[in-house]
Amino acid sequence: MSNVVEHLERHLGPISYGWATEADGERLPFQVARFDLVPIQGVTAYSTVGFGRFPLHSTASGSRMRLELLMMVQADQADGPFPAILQDLAGELLSSGHAILRGDVIGPRGPLISGSDMQALYAARPVYLPDEFATAYEDGESVNIVWMVPITEDEAVFVADQGWSAFEDLLVERDPELTDFNRSSLVPPGEGRGHGEDRQWRPPRPEWGTM
């Protein structure tokens, strides 16, 4: 068992399921794991596992960074396309060679799950968990755990216009439930429509994979 797996299971509980292939059966260079016993009431987590083996370039500092990507969702919404979303996002980062940084936004690309206003992902520290969870260690190197927070199109535009620090101030002020894909937007509706990316999130995968 790797140090990263031990770290994730220590904070999120044991791995419940895992995916190691694409929907077409193509083997991935990393895995995605589901955690159903997260020590947060009513929350399920998904995380990449092994993505941190691939160093990425920080456009801010020029240094190499190792990352694992995390999503946390309400348990009653947990059967959505989250493994595919993390697979797509990690694959994009591997292709670009660039690390995702705090405050970065991916999207909007349409609803993350059916009927939800959440259309983008915001890169944040995993503040719902203890501080020590944010950094794992593998082979003597640090691996940052990046929480991909679902946000609305209007919130994504707010980040672009006002900056990530202003958005995080808004999160502290309003204290929304960031694991709820049915939450209301923190930004008035209608602001920034039409700024989405010309692509969509993948639909749910029809089958479970194995670690």
Q: Are 90 and 58 in contact (CB under 8 A)?
A: no
The neighbour count for residue 195, using CB atoms within 10 Å, is 15
Per-domain residue ranges for the chain? 3-174
- Using the predicted structure, report yes or no on whether residue 132 has a pLDDT greater than 50: yes
pLDDT at position 192 over 90: no
Residue with tokens 């999503």: 71
Write out pLDDT tens, residues 12-47: 999 999 999 887 888 999 999 999 999 999 999 999
How, if at all, do strands 43-49 and 67-74 pair? antiparallel
| Size (the chain), residues | 211
The residue behind tokens 């749910």 is 204
Give the confidence band of 201 by pLDDT, cuts at 50, 70, 90: very low
In this prediction the pTM is: 0.89
pLDDT of residue 209: 28
Whole-number Å distance between alpha carbons of 109 and 47? 21
Question: DSSP secondary-structure letter at 205?
Answer: P
For residue 179, give the nearest of 128, 107, 106, 117 by alpha carbon.
128
